[in-house]
Amino acid sequence: MTLAGTSILGTLIPQNQSPSDYIQAFGEFGFRFLSVLGLFDMYHAWWFLLLLLALTVNIIVCSIDRFPTVWKIVRGSRKGIKAARFRKLSNRKTVEHQGSPDDLQPAVEKMVAGSFGKLQVENTDKGFLVFAEKRRWTRLGVYVVHTSIVLLLLGSIIGSLYGFEGSVNIAEGETVDTIRLRNSNQAYKLDFSIRCDDFDVSFYENGAPQEFRSDLTLLENGNPVYSKSIIVNDPIRFRGINIFQSSYGQIPSDKVTIGFTSKETGMNYMENMQPGQTVAIPENLGKLTLKGLNRQATFKGHNIGTAYVATLTVKDAEPQQILLPVRFPSFDRMRKGDVFISVVGQEEKYFTGLQVTRDPGVWVVYTGFILMLAGCFITFFMSHQQILVEAEDAAGKTLLSFSGTANKNKLGMDNRIERLAQQLTENS
């Protein structure tokens, strides 16, 4: 009951949203209170896992308590036919046949064996008894269901404790070995690196994306160990880790056009550069070395967005580091000097958005689902059936009595008794 109630809370309260969304919905106090209770990531909270474990233990204990009785029925050997309990059944049907019990016995045994298989036959003072049963093992169906539920619960607990789900964006040509976990946004280092060799996207005529594809290579110690081109719903599965194609976008590339403006002459010059490259500035104004790209650059505590980091070296002066923001071309004019430098143009390249997951309990869950289907089929559509045919001599005639029992679908058993009696009547 507690588990069901908390699960309802998990559906009413959105899970794994950003703190700002929760503060807007519940207020700051509500956010802090619900956060302490773990209700924003409820299915990974320690108390929820404890509830799952308690339910698992409860199912196991209840199953063990009743199992010996059922196992005795399934595996127990039958000594003699206990006809008395069948004579009291409401579905008992008696028909009269010409001839002696000895004449009818072969036909009765053949008919019952055709439906039930192995027989147990006993002769009596006035005739004979034919007993048969089948599907004793179906009484274990409920334990198959119980086992499947235990496996489902254990699989979810294993996945919560030892699995992870994260994401990463990788630009074309770049390699990463760290992802951001979904629940905590913490960095998680993988045992291998992921390189995006190429990214392609096709569009419909209305501009909506039709398909996007990433060519990925997995590396260990810098050596390729696995390559695959993935699309949505066709992931990489590597050593228990799944890599899904989830999104894409565009970001500035390393290649950039840098503009130089001479303060003295007013002339503008442009150079195509990339990180690591050094160029001489015209009019003997010095040298510029492009160091790299900072996608979250700051200046005096303010975020100025994407900016290139460069080193300017002029005659008779120490090299100085400068920032060249993409969004603010005139930013460098604040610096004193004979040349002003800016980003004139920049190439863009695609990045692939990947979802990276690992769930070591998934095969336990899959096994549980398979057992659940099998157990439900056995439990609801199969039954342990027993039948008794009793023949008794009655003044030159034979009275044949049919009765049977089943642990489920008793109406179906009654119909079977009717059919067997009718079948013997027609064949005699």
Q: Which helix (H) or strand (E) holds 357?
A: strand 339-358
Q: Do residues 232 and 326 touch, judged by C-beta distance below 8 A? A: no
CA 212 from chain centre, in angstroms, equals 23
Rounded Cα distance, 397 and 100, in Å: 6
Alpha carbons 309 and 258: distance in angstroms, whole number: 12
How far apart CA 336 and CA 334 sit, in angstroms, is 6
Q: Which of 373, 381, 372 is CA-nearest to residue 408? A: 381
pTM: predicted TM-score of the whole model, two decimal places = 0.64
Q: What tokens were used for 195? A: 């390189």
The answer to whether 93 touches 401, Cβ cutoff 8 Å, is yes
pLDDT of residue 427: 65
Q: Which of 176, 164, 315 is nearest to 241 (CA)?
A: 164
pLDDT computed for residue 305 by the predictor: 85
Which pLDDT belongs to residue 301?
85
- Written as six digits, the tokens of 200 are 């392609």
- Structure tokens, 369: 């689902």
- pLDDT tens-digit series, residues 28-43: 888 788 777 777 777 6
Contact indicator for 171, 251 with CB cutoff of 8 Å = yes
Q: How confident is the model at residue 3, as a pLDDT?
A: 67
Chunked into runs of 10 residues, the chain (428 residues) has average pLDDT values of: 69 71 79 77 76 84 86 80 88 87 88 87 90 91 92 88 90 91 83 93 81 92 93 91 90 84 92 91 93 86 88 90 91 91 86 92 93 93 91 86 90 88 75
**Domain residue limits, the chain:** 2-70, 78-135+383-427, 162-251+352-373, 254-347
> What is the domain class of 78-135+383-427 according to CATH?
alpha beta
Q: What is the pLDDT of residue 1?
A: 63
